[in-house]
Amino acid sequence: MTALAARPRTRFDAPDDRTAPAPAESRGVDRDGVRLLVASRDGVEHTVFRSLPDHLNAGDLVVVNNSATIAGQVDARRDGAPIVLHAATPLDEHPTKFSPASLLRHFAGTPHHSTWVVELRSAPDAARAVLDAQPGDHVEVGPLVLTLRAPYPFASSPTGVGNRLWQAEVDGDLVEHLWHHGRPISYGYLDRSYPLADYQTVFATVPGSAEMPSAARPFTPQVVTRLVAAGVGVAPITLHTGVSSQEAGEGPQAERFDVPEVTARQVNATRRAGGRIVAVGTTVARALESAVNCEGLVVGAAGWTERVITRDDPPRVVDGLITGWHDPHASHLLLVEAIAGEEMTQAAYDAAVRERYRWHEFGDSALLLP
């Protein structure tokens, strides 16, 4: 994560009363029945997500994130007081995945010490960041002790005082503890806690995201089938998200990604044939643009990316974007503006506010086709 000099130019009033408080299914709406705003050169259209195939062309390629959400939120204590811990990203050279392998390591008696990026939040509903922690502080997570070592990657706070994200050393297997006691990361705007299954997308096969790659949540097998039947390709990448509660001026964290060689070939072939590359979410756009070589071709690539897409460093291969609705001043808006253009982005947000679209991970969607 880096501090950003650029700021989004899209202006709108945050619609506090339009936050989606629950998954669509809990509100009596099918996953693919959430609203979809389609912005293109022809203007703005309002429809539902299951109509997505009607707005893409044969020969287009939809690229999706197959990262699955982990149970990254857990109760903890600091100085005897209850807090909520968000386990964002493992920083070890070979990050541990959420799998039964951690159970084998546990029962074999092999100790596992690790370093994580963590965020401390207020109990019980993680409504606000805890900012008064100091290096050397200890956080108790069940039988484990986390030691806060340093701000990550530098001191940053929405108030200008204190720090929000920490590099923490864990004296045991945090993955194992989260496997048994964790829950999905959520914030105070939800009406209650929801199970991990509600935070998985239809593409989720590789566990590792601290928060759901939510742009893909409205996809269903039926929507995917209709896309393929219409001649629209679907290809995967993996990008494991960190916590998304960036403040104004904070860039996205470094994140682990993998663009398979077969996906790279599909992207390049689609572009040669004149098709569009439509990224499902800012995570996909970031991963693809991190795998572009000096010749403008996507290559198979994996590792950590710090790529920040802005109007001054625009995308080279992504032509369109499927996304949710972001908060004012969020760094994700810079990426949206870079792909869709400032005029289209402003028009889309004006329409979404006017038509009372729902925000956040369980909210409505947009298809932006500049």
Q: What is the mean pLDDT of residues 322-350?
A: 94
Give the residues across from 238 on adjacent strands: 258
- Tell me the pLDDT band of 112, cut-offs 50, 70 and 90: low
Are 168 and 146 spatial neighbours (Cβ–Cβ below 8 Å)? yes
Topology annotation, domain 16-69+193-369: QueA-like (3.40.1780)
Report how far apart, in Å, the C-alpha atoms of 212 and of each of 70, 75, 165, 172, 241 are.
Answer: 8, 20, 19, 25, 8
- Cβ–Cβ < 8 Å for 204, 67: yes
Q: What is the pLDDT of residue 245?
A: 57
Mean pLDDT over 256-279 rounds to: 98
Tens digits of residue pLDDT in 120-133 = 999 998 989 999 99
pLDDT in tens, 76-104: 999 999 999 999 999 874 444 444 444 33
What is the average pLDDT value for the chain, to the nearest integer? 91
Structure tokens at 293: 């070589």
What 8-state DSSP symbol labels residue 108? T
The rounded radius of gyration (Å) of the Cα atoms in the chain is 20
Residue 155: per-residue pLDDT = 81
Q: What is the pLDDT of residue 251?
A: 67
- pLDDT tens across 2-54, in order? 556 678 899 998 777 899 999 999 999 999 999 999 999 999 999 999 999 99
Compute the residue count for the chain: 370
Look at residue 83 in the predicted model and tell me its pLDDT.
98
Task: List the one residue out of 146, 36, 51 whose CA is nearest residue 90.
Answer: 146
Q: Which helix (H) or strand (E) holds 90?
A: strand 81-90
List, edge to edge, every strand of the sheet that includes 61-65. Answer: 43-48, 35-40, 365-369, 320-323, 277-280, 61-65, 233-240, 255-259, 301-305
CB-CB contact of 251 with 2 (8 Å): yes
**How high is the pLDDT of residue 253?**
82
What gap in Å lies between CA 249 and CA 136, rounded to an integer?
A: 27
Task: Return the percent helix, strand and coil in the chain, to nearest 5.
Answer: 25, 30, 45
Give the mean model confidence (pLDDT) for residues 166-181.
94
Identify the H or E element spanning 37: strand 35-40
Kindly state the helix (H) or strand (E) to which residue 115 belongs, with its residue range.
strand 114-122
Give the single-character DSSP code of 95: P
pLDDT > 80? residue 298:
yes
Is the model's pLDDT at 109 over the cut of 80?
A: no
List pLDDT tens digits, range 204-256.
Answer: 999 999 999 999 999 999 999 999 999 999 999 999 999 875 554 566 788 99
Which H or E element spans position 169? strand 165-170
Percentage of the chain beyond pLDDT 90 is 80
Per-residue pLDDT at 1: 47
Domain with CATH 3.40.1780.10 in the chain: 16-69+193-369
Which 3 state secondary structure label does DSSP give 367? strand
Residue 147 CA to residue 123 CA, distance in Å, equals 19
Confidence of residue 353 (pLDDT cuts 50, 70, 90): very high
Residue 52 · residue 224 · CB < 8 Å: no
What mean pLDDT comes out for the span 173-193? 93
